[in-house]
Structure 1
Amino acid sequence: MLAVLYVGHGSRVAEGVHQLNQFLAQCMDQVHVPIQQICYLELVRPDIQEGISRCVRLGADCVIVQPILLLSAGHDKRDIPGEIEKARAFYPNVRFIYGRPFGVDDRIVDILLERLHERRDKRTRNERVLVVGRGSSDPETLRAFSEISAMLMKRGVSRVSVCYMAAAKPLLKEGLELASKQAADKVYIIPYLLFSGVLMKTIKKSIEAGDHQASFVLCRPLGYHPALIRLLRKRIEEATHAGLSAHS
Structure 2
Amino acid sequence: MDAVLYIGHGSRVKAGIDQAKRFISSCMETCRMPIQEICFLELAEPDIPEGIRRCVQRGASRIIIQPVLLLAAGHIKKDIPAEIEKAAKDYPDITFIYSHPFGVHDMIIDILIERIQEQGDAFSDDAFVLLVGRGSSDPCIKTDFQQIKQMVEGRGITRAFPCYLAAADPSFEEGLDFAQATGYKKIFVVPYLLFTGILMKEMEQTIRERNQGNQSFILCQSLGYHAKLKKLLSRRIEESIRSNDDEQLSYHA
- Band the TM-score falls in, shorter-chain normalisation: over 0.9
Is 1:176 aligned to residue 180 of structure 2?
no
Match of 1:209 in 2: 209
What code does the residue aligned with 2:222 have?
P
Query: Is residue 125–residue 158 contact of structure 2 (8 Å, CA) maintained in 1?
Result: no
Match of 1:37 in 2: 37
Q: Distance in 2 between matches of 1:179 and 1:216?
A: 9
The answer to which of 122-131 and 196-205 deviates more is 122-131
* Structure 1 residues 12 and 123: alpha-carbon distance in aligned structure 2, compared to 1, 3 A threshold: closer
Match of 2:56 in 1: 56
Q: CA deviation at 1:186?
A: 0.6
Match of 2:25 in 1: 25
* Structure 1 residues 176 and 96: alpha-carbon distance in aligned structure 2, compared to 1, 3 A threshold: same
Q: CA deviation at 1:214?
A: 2.1
Match of 1:127 in 2: 127
Match of 2:95 in 1: 95
Q: CA deviation at 1:126?
A: 0.5
Task: Name stretches of at least 5 consecutive residues in structure 2 with no aligned partner.
Answer: 249-253
| 1:1-248 mapped onto 2 (5 Å cutoff) | 1-122=1-122, 125-210=125-210, 214-243=215-244
Task: Name stretches of at least 5 consecutive residues in structure 1 with no aligned partner.
Answer: none
* Structure 1 residues 177 and 111: alpha-carbon distance in aligned structure 2, compared to 1, 3 A threshold: same
Q: Distance in 1 between matches of 2:247 and 2:167?
A: 36
Q: Distance in 1 between matches of 2:245 and 2:221?
A: 39
Q: CA deviation at 1:204?
A: 1.1
Q: CA deviation at 1:244?
A: 6.0
Give the count of matched residue pairs.
247
Q: CA deviation at 1:208?
A: 2.5
Identity within the alignment, %: 50
In the superposition, the TM-score normalised over structure 2's length comes to: 0.94
Q: Deviations over 1:47-82 (max 9, x none)?
A: 000000000010001000000100000000000000
* Structure 1 residues 120 and 182: alpha-carbon distance in aligned structure 2, compared to 1, 3 A threshold: farther
Q: Distance in 1 between matches of 2:12 and 2:125?
A: 40
Query: Is residue 124–residue 185 contact of structure 1 (8 Å, CA) maintained in 2?
Result: no
Query: RMSD of the alignment, in Å?
Result: 1.5
What code does the residue aligned with 1:223 have?
G
Q: Deviations over 1:78-119 (max 9, x none)?
A: 000000000011000000000110000000000000000011
* Structure 1 residues 245 and 136: alpha-carbon distance in aligned structure 2, compared to 1, 3 A threshold: closer
